[in-house]
Amino acid sequence: MNNEQFRAAAYALIDRIVTYREELASKTPPVLSKKEPGEILRALPTVAPEQPENLAAVLQDLDEHVFSGVMHWQHPRFFGYFPVGGGLASVLAAIVTNGLGVIGLNWQSAPALTEIETAVMVWMRDLLGLSSAWNGVIQDSASSSAVVALICARERTTAYSAAAGGLQAESTALTVYTTAEAHSSVVKAATLAGFGHDNVRLVETDADFSMNTQALQAAISEDRAAGKRPCAIVATVGTTSTTAVDPIEAIAAIAVREGIWLHVDSAMAGSAMLAPEFRHYWQGLESADSLVVNAHKWMTMAPECSFYFVRDAEHLVRVMSTNPSYLRTDVDGEVINYRDWGIPLGRTFRALKVWLTLRLEGADALRQRIRRDCGNTAWLAQQVDATDAWERVAPAPFQTICLIHKPLGLEGEALDAHTLDWCRQINNSGFAYLTPAIVGERWIVRVSVGSELMEREDVEALWEVMRKTAEDSAHAHTAKIIS
């Protein structure tokens, strides 16, 4: 492809993306793709093209197989999982990043990549209300950040055992503490960091699904008595299923007293801290060791863009650094080499997404979106609380409501079947998309508010459809039990 061909294709694709966004907002197509398993694969050639194809034919296939072959995460009635970043300013940044085609192996390979990342991480630190004690780097995900955090915790506890015999040379097992409400990546990270699944302690939670600090202290004391070494605590502000908030201040006090690394996973809910009225949820954070906030969720930046903050950057660099001869330069002593702040050697220009978004949209636009979504969530919570047979099963501090429809006569497995049925009906209709989840021992439905195009009327429309669908499902399930 030459420059002129690229220009023509790029204009055509940008027009198609704009049309796609406009259609999501105005025509509101089905949220869930109607493709059947294997349908797209069967439509594709079995061998790669040997010669260039016509642009019009490629665009037609994009329409037929790509634009119609995805769940529409940017849809105004996408209430599933979590809000995913896809702000158009960050889409522009992705175009520039890929157009430049640079890799940040070190400062010299892309000075702008390094120094813009340094600048925007200071911007974000200040916007999130963190003190100057924190330094940050952009990782690809909260999952990778958890691995880095637990490796750093391991190395601090073992006095840098990786430089010697590693965990195999340690005489006692190291333990990690979290809850069953934490993201699944936490246990995976502990396994990958060498702790072993058996040394991950799932601490009890309270009625609001937050970590019970008395149970945490008891687990730590039990492990010390058994000859184990408590190493790391992973607390969460905004858990995956219910957006529960662990009591950071009390947990931090235990971590400091016991000399244990504290990593705070605030991947989704951390964006709310752009608005000062939410910052009480991570009171005590300044005593933690590491923190992650996913900008590619509620903060509109396109994936992959996770802010990973640490209070001891020197420790992070000592643990993660690599210095092969072919990467050394004359300015290494004067600059930051972000390859030493995480796992990958090659780094893409992720900071450009943040830089362009903040410059073209401004921080206040992000802040107002947070407030809009939380306001819409509060409205829906009020409707649920005021309506017979509907219940919230957890607090809704941010933008997710966990709810259940409990008609008289339906309990246990029959209630689960009813819950999954009405949720499935809504999803299959294409009108909206919701995610069911098990909370406690029962299936519930999560309503995640926050798609960029979502407004109050979309939430109101969902509530109306949920009530009707659930009531019809309840009648059918009750009749089945009676018969």
Q: Whole-angstrom Cα distance, residue 456 to residue 102?
A: 42
Q: DSSP E strands: which ranges in 394-441? A: 400-405, 435-439
Q: What's the pLDDT at 483?
A: 62
Q: Whole-angstrom Cα distance, residue 406 to residue 393?
A: 11
User: Which uninterrupted H or E stretch holds 324?
Assistant: none
- Which residues does residue 445 pair with via DSSP β-bridges, in sequence order? 403, 436
**pLDDT per position in the chain (483 positions), as tens?**
899 999 999 999 999 999 999 999 888 889 999 999 999 999 998 999 999 999 999 999 999 999 999 999 999 999 999 999 889 999 999 999 999 999 999 999 999 999 999 999 999 999 999 999 999 999 999 999 999 999 999 999 999 999 899 998 888 999 999 999 999 999 999 999 999 999 999 999 999 999 999 999 999 999 999 999 999 999 999 999 999 999 999 999 999 999 999 999 999 999 999 999 999 999 999 999 999 999 999 999 999 999 999 999 999 999 999 888 888 999 988 999 999 999 999 899 999 999 999 999 999 999 999 999 999 999 999 999 999 999 999 999 999 999 999 998 899 999 999 999 999 999 999 999 999 999 988 999 999 999 999 999 999 999 999 999 999 888 887 777 666
| DSSP label of 31 | S
Q: Whole-angstrom Cα distance, residue 23 to residue 20?
A: 5
Using alpha carbons only, what angle is made at residue 199 by residues 197 and 201, rounded to the nearest 5 degrees?
100
Q: What's the pLDDT at 482?
A: 63
The answer to whether residues 260 and 233 touch, using CB atoms and an 8 Å cutoff, is yes
In the chain the domains, ranked by start, together with CATH numbers, are 3-30+33-70 (1.20.1340.10), 102-361 (3.40.640.10), 363-482 (3.90.1150.170)
The answer to whether residues 269 and 213 touch, using CB atoms and an 8 Å cutoff, is no
Q: What's the pLDDT at 440?
A: 86
CA nearest 209: which of 349, 397, 68, 25?
Answer: 397
CA nearest 114: which of 363, 366, 355?
Answer: 355
- The backbone region for 160, taken as left when phi is positive above 0, alpha when psi lies in -120 to 50, beta otherwise, is left
Q: Is the dihedral of CA 101, 105, 106, 108 positive or negative?
A: negative
DSSP 37-70: TTHHHHHS-SS--SS---HHHHHHHIIIIIITSS
User: Which uninterrupted H or E stretch holds 13?
Assistant: helix 3-26
Q: What's the pLDDT at 121?
A: 98
Q: What's the pLDDT at 409?
A: 86
Q: Whole-angstrom Cα distance, residue 447 to residue 401?
A: 5
Q: Whole-angstrom Cα distance, residue 415 to residue 437?
A: 14
User: Identity (one letter) of the amino acid at 455?
Assistant: E
HSE on the CB side for 178, CA within 13 Å?
28
3-state SS assignment for residue 347 = coil
The answer to whether residues 178 and 202 touch, using CB atoms and an 8 Å cutoff, is yes
Q: How does strand 290-294 pair with strand 229-236?
A: unpaired
Q: CB 281: neighbour CB atoms within 10 A?
A: 21
CA–centroid distance for 230 within its chain = 27
Instruction: List, in order, residues 6 or more apart from 91 with CB less than 8 Å away.
Output: 17, 302
The answer to whether residues 445 and 418 touch, using CB atoms and an 8 Å cutoff, is no
Q: How does strand 200-203 pair with strand 261-265?
A: unpaired
The answer to whether residues 117 and 351 touch, using CB atoms and an 8 Å cutoff, is yes
CA nearest 242: which of 77, 470, 452, 398?
Answer: 398
